[in-house]
Amino acid sequence: MGPILLSSCNLSEPDELVATTPGSQQPRPSRIVVALVVDQLALWHVEERFHTLPENGGFKRLLRESEEFVELRYGHVQTSTAIGHAALFTGLPPRESRVVANEVPDRDHNVHAIVRDERTKLVTAEGIVDRAGASLAVLPNHVETLADALRRQRPEVSIACLSLKDRGAVFACGRTPDAVAWFDVGTNGFVSSNAYGPTMPSLLLPYAVPLIGEEYQATNWTPLDPTWLNRNAPPHPVGQGNFEGLGRGFPHELWKTDRPARAMLATPMGDALLTDATIALLDRLPERQDAFLAVSFSSYDYIHHIFGPDSEEAWDELLRLDGQLARLFDKLDSLYGTNGYSIVLSADHGGPQAPSQGNRCGAEDPFERACGQTIRLHARDLYRIASTAAARAVGPGRWIGAVSEPFVHFSEAAEKLTAAQRTALVAEVSKALSATPGVSLIVDSRNAAAQPCPGYEIDSMSALVCRSTNESTGDLLIVPTPEAFFDTGYVEGEGCNHGSPYRFDRAVPMFVRTTGERVHKLGEAFKPSGRVDPRAYSATLAALLKIGPPAGAEGGEDLSW
């Protein structure tokens, strides 16, 4: 059987699978505020690539209609999805949110997602599934998200969030949303958690059914616009991985892969599914009730991880995402009118340039991108180095529990060592890891957590480290050099990863469209007019929602004016 080409994956025919509102319908009397996050959308991508996009695409429209376009710069070392989303929707750095990594080990040293909650179960349209769900249990009880503040101050507002990743959805929606869901590979559909209720929210139907992803996986991925792609993508990219049998170059026969549901994440079909589900959700929102909608696009991140940011796949994804955003904005126009909705778009982190064999950037690169050979850090190698050093320091035994980006976690046995023994353990392991190529700095988290941290206005390495550690994080924080990153494991030895304190990873765009009535004064140049810290995201959304911001975002710049 050959591939089935679906209109949902063909941007020239965007409406065949989507219920739309007739153009003659009057705009809803309510307003909606939309928070968008594009996973791994670095500011350097925006400045260097977005001018190539079509005039009728989503990004150029957003620039034209945005009152503000600024640089949002994160104030922590480890730039990752969970940390970034937590910072955007609470305003807090990892030290205070307790969201210190994407994944953490349990007491048995098995690594799992930081939002995974064994006390909860997944929920599908068919009921509760006997698998661990996700929740915001990682956040301290006193930490309020933007959505929590909204529910407390304006309980009548509808709150809904969607993403392909659980960590891309739960931080945006807080603890009591009307609808929150993410894509689950096991069920090949959107799921939620009984942390939010025993049944799948009705707002998510008809996309909250198992196997909905099959429609988007029965296809080939080929370039949307070969002429545009040939004009912009580098001719010899480096580092593409073969993820789940997708292959290293076009065409990618998604329907032939080993696990199509997982492979779809690293294709634009993931965005197509997410956009279709979002549009269906918009149709089901109460017409006379104000709403807050948060959507996090994840395929951009997966594609950059697996194929690299200079690949044809990364460029094609940019063009296709641009089209999906245009579809979403058109839908908002039809439901709410052009001045009936607001949009704040940013990213959870940036990313590096592609792995290279030679000098590919200038010495004064403003984004601090490294030149030359990329260094991959493998957790198993770091574990071996740390374990050997630990034995030298305190004798035989299992003193290292796990290495999970970006931390070395000591074992329970190590916690029983005397203060002098622990000091020797930290010193010897730190010395050994510091000598590893690609490691810039090793930080004793316990000592760092005992120090007071400066505000976001201080951007030094010591300040970034301080905001990234607390007494419950891993024991040793590993800071990579600019040319190094932890291997993702998606396709070992291939692709790219983020997760560093340098500007290419910490600098992301932030667009603020309040009513669409004013035209951005910077024309078509994608150059930010200023810089803000992560608190600005929630502070601006809060102002648009007519509420006070969550406590962690107080003092953040409000760009809604």
Q: What is the tens place of the pLDDT at every residue in 195-220?
A: 999 999 999 988 888 889 999 999 99
Task: Enumerate residues 6+ apart whose C-beta is below 8 A from 490.
Answer: 241, 243, 266, 302, 305, 306
Task: Tell me the mean pLDDT in the region 446-468.
Answer: 93
CB 237 within 8 A of CB 311: yes
Q: For the chain, list the domains and their CATH numbers.
A: 39-89+133-189+213-355+503-553 (3.40.720.10), 375-482 (3.30.1360.150)
- pLDDT of 521 reads 57
Q: Which residue has the tokens 């490294």?
A: 370
| Residue 362 burial class via C-beta count within 10 angstroms: exposed 0-12, middle 13-18, buried 19 and up | exposed
Banded model confidence at residue 409, pLDDT cuts 50, 70, 90: very high
pTM of structure: 0.94
Q: State the average pLDDT for the chain.
A: 91
Q: Which residues pair with 181 in a beta bridge?
A: 162
Q: Measured over all CA atoms, what is the biggest interatomic distance in the chain, rounded to whole angstroms? A: 78
Q: Is the per-residue pLDDT at 331 higher than 50?
A: yes
SS3 of residue 71 by DSSP: strand
Q: According to the model, what pLDDT value does residue 363 have?
A: 63
Q: Which residue has the higher pLDDT, 542 or 20?
A: 542
Q: What is the pLDDT of residue 59?
A: 97
Instruction: Using the predicted structure, report yes or no on whether residue 87 has a pLDDT greater than 60.
Output: yes
User: Measured between alpha carbons, how far is 432 from 410 in angstroms, rounded to an integer?
Assistant: 15
Give tens-digit pLDDT for 371-380: 778 899 999 9
Q: Which two tokens stand for residue 291?
A: 């709403």
